[in-house]
């Protein structure tokens, strides 16, 4: 099912090349949390070529998606329920911090969340999670 607008989580952005246009919403957006998560990559890469590749990837993402959705007051409030959902499922919020913040952004903005890792969001209520098709070897 294709939506008009949808939020891509970090897994979707990193593996975008595996997807067909029909797998994605008509208009895809990313969150500031995904941009933050991607921005760690060049800083922790030890190989200069890997560092350059990760930096180029961030630049491509910024050019393709423009201004990301902010983690704003509504997202901060939505995070409380997301964290409670994760804890109720017996998971630790800290271990899922980026995912929880991305889920809160989706929840606050009323957007479906496109991901290769739907299990990461299974406990979260109030968002539609759109699983992306795994590769044959996933």
- Residue 25 pLDDT > 90, yes or no? yes
The answer to the question of residue 137 being in a domain is no
The answer to the question of residue 22 being in a domain is yes
Average pLDDT over residues 98-102: 95
14 and 54 Cβ atoms separated by less than 8 Å? no
The answer to the question of residue 136 being in a domain is no
The answer to the question of residue 106 being in a domain is yes
14: CB partners within 8 A, 6+ apart: 38
State the pLDDT confidence band at 117, using cuts at 50, 70 and 90: very high
State the pLDDT confidence band at 136, using cuts at 50, 70 and 90: low
- The CATH number covering residue 9 comes to 3.40.50.1010
pLDDT of residue 1: 57
The answer to the question of residue 47 being in a domain is yes
Number of domain units in the chain: 1
Which runs of consecutive H residues, i.e. helices, occur in 2-115?
Answer: 10-14, 32-44, 48-65, 73-88, 97-109
pLDDT of residue 134: 78
pLDDT of residue 46: 94
Dump pLDDT digits (tens) for 6-24.
Answer: 999 999 999 998 999 899 9
The answer to the question of residue 73 being in a domain is yes
State the pLDDT confidence band at 78, using cuts at 50, 70 and 90: very high
Going by C-alpha positions, the residue among 41, 42, 109, 121 that lies closest to residue 74 is 109
The answer to the question of residue 138 being in a domain is no
Domain span at residue 16? Answer: 5-131
The answer to the question of residue 127 being in a domain is yes
């Amino acid at each position: 099912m294709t939506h008009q607008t949808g939020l891509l989580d970090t897994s979707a952005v990193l593996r975008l090349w595996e997807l067909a246009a029909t797998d994605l919403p008509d208009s895809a957006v990313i969150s500031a949390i995904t941009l933050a998560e991607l921005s760690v990559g060049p800083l922790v890469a030890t190989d200069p070529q890997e560092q350059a590749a990760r930096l180029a990837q961030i630049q491509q993402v910024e050019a393709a998606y423009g201004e990301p959705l902010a983690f704003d007051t509504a997202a901060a409030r939505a995070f409380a329920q997301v964290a409670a959902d994760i804890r109720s499922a017996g998971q630790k919020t800290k271990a899922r911090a980026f995912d929880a913040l991305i889920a809160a952004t989706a929840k606050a903005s009323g957007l479906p969340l496109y991901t290769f890792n739907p299990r990461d969001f299974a406990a979260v209520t109030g968002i539609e999670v759109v699983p992306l098709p795994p590769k044959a070897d996933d």
